[in-house]
């Protein structure tokens, strides 16, 4: 499948696009997408609500863009973490650790993604929204393929018992991303401790 090309707005020095995305991530991540008013984001950025439509034609378009960007970021981290690792178990550990090497702002992005995945299921009537949705869906497929390939290689080398690699990949991803539904940086459990727990669980799931 060929990745959909996205016509990105001008991100020059006068562009408000990055500021809009930052404000939207803070609102969507903390208050939730449905509870966030489009006008509140404009107010946070310091522009009129009409000016938002120069960058995003709707609140849903902005949300889908955030989801697509987060999926791309996650995939890039996976590729970087595993590219120079020949040992399958260490590659798996590196992939899990990379998933948790995040800032508080990125935690909000991941929470937004997980809370709104259902939005990717249905076709959008808006061309720009649909372009972002298709790009996000393709990234989901690529991420699943990346993890499946990692497990398949480990099975072929005898490092992991032979199972259905794709199903196992989905199980691992489900465990990892579930964290962002409940984890809060202000909570009592440090993220490093959560990462260590999930890393151990993933290795045991695959190797035993």
Contact 198, 98 (CB under 8 A): no
CB of 21 within 8 A of CB of 39? no
Per-residue pLDDT of the chain in tens (208 residues, 90 and over written 9): 333 433 454 566 578 999 999 999 999 999 999 999 999 999 999 998 888 988 999 999 999 999 999 999 999 999 999 998 889 999 999 999 999 999 999 999 999 999 999 999 999 999 999 999 999 999 999 999 999 999 999 999 999 999 999 999 999 999 999 999 999 999 999 999 999 999 999 999 999 8
Give the span between the Cα atoms of 170 and 166, in whole angstroms. Answer: 6
Please state, in angstroms and rounded to a whole number, the distance separating the CA atoms of residues 113 and 49: 24
Report pLDDT for 85. Answer: 86
Length of the chain: 208
- Round to whole Å and give the CA distance between 174 and 140: 12
- How many other β-carbons are positioned within 10 Å of the β-carbon of residue 189? 11
pLDDT value, residue 100:
97
pLDDT of residue 75: 97
CATH topology for 59-207? Tetracycline Repressor; domain 2 (1.10.357)
At 1 the pLDDT is 34
Domain boundaries, the chain: 10-55, 59-207
Q: Which of 196, 195, 198, 142 is nearest to 172 (CA)?
A: 198
Residues 6+ apart with CB under 8 A from 170: 144
CATH code of the domain occupying 10-55: 1.10.10.60
């Amino acid at each position: 499948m060929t990745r959909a090309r996205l016509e990105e707005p001008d991100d020059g020095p006068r562009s408000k696009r990055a500021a809009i995305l930052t404000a939207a991530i803070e609102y969507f991540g903390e208050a939730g997408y449905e509870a966030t008013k489009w006008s509140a984001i404009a107010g946070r950025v310091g522009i009129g609500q009409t000016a938002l439509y120069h960058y995003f034609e709707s609140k849903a378009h902005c949300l889908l863009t955030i989801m697509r960007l987060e999926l791309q970021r996650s995939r890039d981290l996976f590729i970087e973490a595993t590219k120079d690792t020949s040992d399958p178990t260490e590659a798996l550990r590196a992939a899990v650790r990379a998933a948790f090497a995040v800032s508080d702002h990125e935690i909000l992005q991941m929470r937004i993604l997980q809370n709104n995945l259902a939005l990717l299921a249905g076709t959008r009537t808006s061309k720009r929204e649909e372009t972002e949705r298709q790009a996000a869906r393709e990234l989901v497929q690529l991420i699943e393929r990346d993890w499946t390939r990692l497990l398949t290689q480990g099975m072929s080398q005898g490092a992991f018992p032979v199972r259905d690699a794709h199903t196992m990949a989905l199980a691992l991803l489900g465990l990892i991303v579930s964290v962002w539904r409940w984890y809060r940086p202000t909570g009592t459990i440090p993220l490093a401790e959560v990462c260590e727990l999930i890393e151990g669980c993933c290795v045991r799931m695959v190797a035993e």
